[in-house]
Structure 1
Amino acid sequence: MEKILEVKDLNISFHTFAGEVKAIRGVDFDLYKGETLAIVGESGSGKSVTTKSIMRLLPPGNSEIKGGQMLFNGKDLAKLSDKQMQKIRGKDISMIFQDPMTSLNPTIKIGKQIMEPIVRHQNMSKSAAKERAIELLRLVGIPQPEKRFEQYPHQFSGGMRQRVVIAIALACNPKVLIADEPTTALDVTIQAQILELMKDLQKKIDTSIIFITHDLGVVANVADRVAVMYGGKIVEIGTVDEIFYNPQHPYTWGLISSMPSLDAKDEELYAIPGTPPNLLHPPKGDAFAPRNQYAMQIDLEEQPPMFKVSDTHYAATWLLHPDAPKVEPPEAVKRRMRQFPAGKEVK
């Protein structure tokens, strides 16, 4: 498969009054043409910081890319100037943000906001850009697009506003679309509609998607591959089937156990004990060790490497070392794994 984006050993810090926060610590992943890569993890694990760094949208005053590469079309995005990034941002790499109301200008008509990237990046006339904008409104499922073109954001529902934001992101047929928890602010019915819309649009425009979420239920419906982040690192990565059917990292077990089960009646919902690490003072060993009931002494002393489970599946846990004791996933994980029939794709 053709690689669209390569992130190699990415390290990002924030300089605060309290000291240097090492938010991203050696992140590696590839994005392939036409695939959806989901990045999952608790709040503060580094999901949004990683993807905003790809867009170069981190605050310039206190953020710093300390090392690593983000290769797109042979160019390292980390080394491009602001002017060079302006030619890529919105045209080749677009982003859908979490809250559609804060993503749209309340004083400008919807049509003009969709036209802006088309005129800027596609060199279209205003009349051609208007036709394209109306076509995009129709593509994302907004009825009466000609009428809606002349309306303001407050005249749209939350779900419709998110469709408009998606239309803006797709305006220039980007090669990479980053969706930063695009359904979190929506109710579950509208969530399902937006997710179905994104899957349908991906087939039509053949874009690659990075989908950020903390909801593993969403991942099961949209992703081809899944990267699990914790403490500024990717701790497990694999196909969606591998992550759901054969999870290897205790943190992934915790996330899966935290999913509400349709089969459980009086079962108490599981919560991972403890809190994420303080990245002002990153731990010496495995960042998840203090919350991991299966932690060994080496977890407190040394960070685990990425152990190979299969050609597409890797996990950073000392439990995969040949000398480690054999540990089975908790029963709560096995119960949720049984929700997906064997041999059937989670998607």
Structure 2
Amino acid sequence: MVEPILQVKDLQVSFNTYAGKIQAIRGVDFDLNAGETLAIVGESGSGKSVTTKTLLGLNAENAELGENSQILYGGKNLAKLTEKEWEDYRGSEVAMVFQDPMTSLDPTMKIGNQIAEPIMKHHGVEKADALKRALQLMKDVGIPEAEEHINDYPHQWSGGMRQRAVIAIALAAEPKVLIADEPTTALDVTIQAQILRVLKDLQEKNGTAIIFITHDLGVVAGIADRVAVMYAGKIVETGTVNEVFYNPQHPYTWGLLGSMPSTKTESGTLQAIPGTPPDLLYPPKGDAFANRNPYGLEIDHEKQPPLFKVSDTHYAATWLLDERAPKVEPPLEIQRRQAFWQTLQQEGAR
């Protein structure tokens, strides 16, 4: 077995507010292997961004990490780092591409200098050498005529070009793990595809591991190796991209996939997930999805489900997988996906 580059164990994050303690992350576990892409998906407020900001020590001052939480990287528990240690770790080991490139870039600083800055900080090189490396990074991320634009300011560039610059900054110190927090949300579909291609090409070139945060399952299909579905601060299903897309087991995953249009979607059959997520000031004692789950069982309101094993790589936290649970027919769209999964399995066995 290859040792994961990053291991997250029992991650718990709460925020102390005037209203009380918000339990934003409630026991998250996952591994990340070198060179792979793990997509974390879910609705807004499910805990995706809080999870990844915790990996960089970037949560607000009112955040509180659970006593047993572990973020293991290079034999060290990052949950115990001091702020000075975090500064040395960010950028050089793990870097982040934020959602909005305009607020990620300094409007008063030339883009070339912004890319060169982490190179100087983490590699100790002179500015002239750092700028040469910055120029090459601009070319690597697909910025045309980079020599002519290295001294431009962010306001002179389009949204897609600024996002490429943010990716170049994140990669400047050659991190082993790249966190991309919804990096294509504000871009049109053509530019989205280009940015995803840039990330994939750079990953293949450098062997970088990527954690990709998104609510867009269509994006996940084109970039991820594995998928973790989050809901109310927990991972409710995890598996390879094909397992989650074509053999989903959790009703929440069914809802997410049913609300996503595809070329095979019949007119008028897109489904919405009813209700709203629970208030994490007062998390429910049972399954957090119970009140929105049309397939819910009585036990869902009384006890949180464990992660049931579907395969060696596929797990889902739903009582429907308990051997005592009644058989439930998923929505028609999910049945189609599972029929396709059976075809894939049969072809793979030949």
Q: With structure 1 as the length reference, what TM-score do the two structures score?
A: 0.96
CA contact 2:250–2:316 (8 Å) conserved in 1: yes
CA contact 1:257–1:336 (8 Å) conserved in 2: no
- For structure 1, which segment, 4-13 or 258-267, has the greater mean C-alpha deviation from structure 2 after superposition? 258-267
Match of residue 115 from structure 1: 116
Match of residue 133 from structure 1: 134
Q: Tell me the CA shift for residue 140 of structure 1.
A: 0.4
Within the alignment, does 1:245 sit opposite 2:246 as a pair? yes
CA contact 1:175–1:208 (8 Å) conserved in 2: yes
CA contact 2:247–2:337 (8 Å) conserved in 1: no
Match of residue 142 from structure 1: 143
Q: Quick one: structure 1 residues 176 and 279, their matched pair in 2 at CA, closer, same or farther if it must change by over 3 Å?
A: same
CA deviation string 1:10-37 (max 9, x = no partner): 1100111111100000000000010000
Q: Quick one: structure 1 residues 340 and 165, their matched pair in 2 at CA, closer, same or farther if it must change by over 3 Å?
A: farther
Match of residue 191 from structure 1: 192
Match of residue 235 from structure 1: 236
Q: Tell me the CA shift for residue 245 of structure 1.
A: 1.3
CA deviation string 1:224-246 (max 9, x = no partner): 00000001000000000110111
Q: Tell me the CA shift for residue 326 of structure 1.
A: 1.3
Q: Tell me the CA shift for residue 263 of structure 1.
A: 2.8
Q: Quick one: structure 1 residues 339 and 171, their matched pair in 2 at CA, closer, same or farther if it must change by over 3 Å?
A: farther
- Please give the alpha-carbon distance, in whole angstroms, between the structure 1 residues aligned to 2:273 and 2:60: 31
CA deviation string 1:108-133 (max 9, x = no partner): 00000001000000111111101100
Look up the SS of the partner of 1:186 in the other structure.
Answer: coil
- Please give the alpha-carbon distance, in whole angstroms, between the structure 2 residues aligned to 1:313 and 1:147: 49
Structure 1 residue identity aligned to 2:56 = M
CA deviation string 1:79-118 (max 9, x = no partner): 0000001001011100000011000001100000001000
* Residues paired across the two proteins, number: 344
CA deviation string 1:264-285 (max 9, x = no partner): 3531431100000100000000
CA contact 2:40–2:213 (8 Å) conserved in 1: yes
- Please give the alpha-carbon distance, in whole angstroms, between the structure 2 residues aligned to 1:215 and 1:37: 14
Structure 2 residue identity aligned to 1:66 = G
Look up the SS of the partner of 2:327 in the other structure.
Answer: coil
CA contact 1:261–1:336 (8 Å) conserved in 2: no
RMSD of aligned C-alpha atoms?
A: 1.6
CA contact 2:247–2:341 (8 Å) conserved in 1: no
Q: Tell me the CA shift for residue 328 of structure 1.
A: 2.6
Match of residue 310 from structure 1: 311
Within the alignment, does 1:64 sit opposite 2:40 as a pair? no
CA deviation string 1:194-247 (max 9, x = no partner): 011111110001000000000110010000000000010000000001101111
- Please give the alpha-carbon distance, in whole angstroms, between the structure 1 residues aligned to 2:81 and 2:264: 51
- Please give the alpha-carbon distance, in whole angstroms, between the structure 2 residues aligned to 1:41 and 1:54: 18
Structure 2 residue identity aligned to 1:112 = N
Q: Tell me the CA shift for residue 338 of structure 1.
A: 6.9
Match of residue 93 from structure 1: 94
Q: Quick one: structure 1 residues 297 and 341, their matched pair in 2 at CA, closer, same or farther if it must change by over 3 Å?
A: closer
Match of residue 205 from structure 1: 206
Q: Quick one: structure 1 residues 342 and 156, their matched pair in 2 at CA, closer, same or farther if it must change by over 3 Å?
A: farther
Within the alignment, does 1:38 sit opposite 2:76 as a pair? no
Match of residue 48 from structure 1: 49
Structure 2 residue identity aligned to 1:210 = I
Q: Quick one: structure 1 residues 130 and 338, their matched pair in 2 at CA, closer, same or farther if it must change by over 3 Å?
A: farther
> Residues 144-163 of structure 1 correspond to what in structure 2 (within 5 A)?
144-163=145-164
CA contact 2:246–2:337 (8 Å) conserved in 1: no
Structure 2 residue identity aligned to 1:294 = Y
CA deviation string 1:50-94 (max 9, x = no partner): 00000100011x111123100111111110000001001011100
Structure 1 residue identity aligned to 2:329 = E
CA contact 1:256–1:336 (8 Å) conserved in 2: no
Look up the SS of the partner of 1:309 in the other structure.
Answer: strand
Q: Quick one: structure 1 residues 255 and 130, their matched pair in 2 at CA, closer, same or farther if it must change by over 3 Å?
A: same
Q: Tell me the CA shift for residue 2 of structure 1.
A: 3.1
Structure 2 residue identity aligned to 1:116 = E
Unpaired stretches in structure 2, ≥5 consecutive residues: none
Percent identity for Structure 1 against Structure 2:
66
- Please give the alpha-carbon distance, in whole angstroms, between the structure 1 residues aligned to 2:140 and 2:335: 40
CA contact 1:228–1:237 (8 Å) conserved in 2: yes
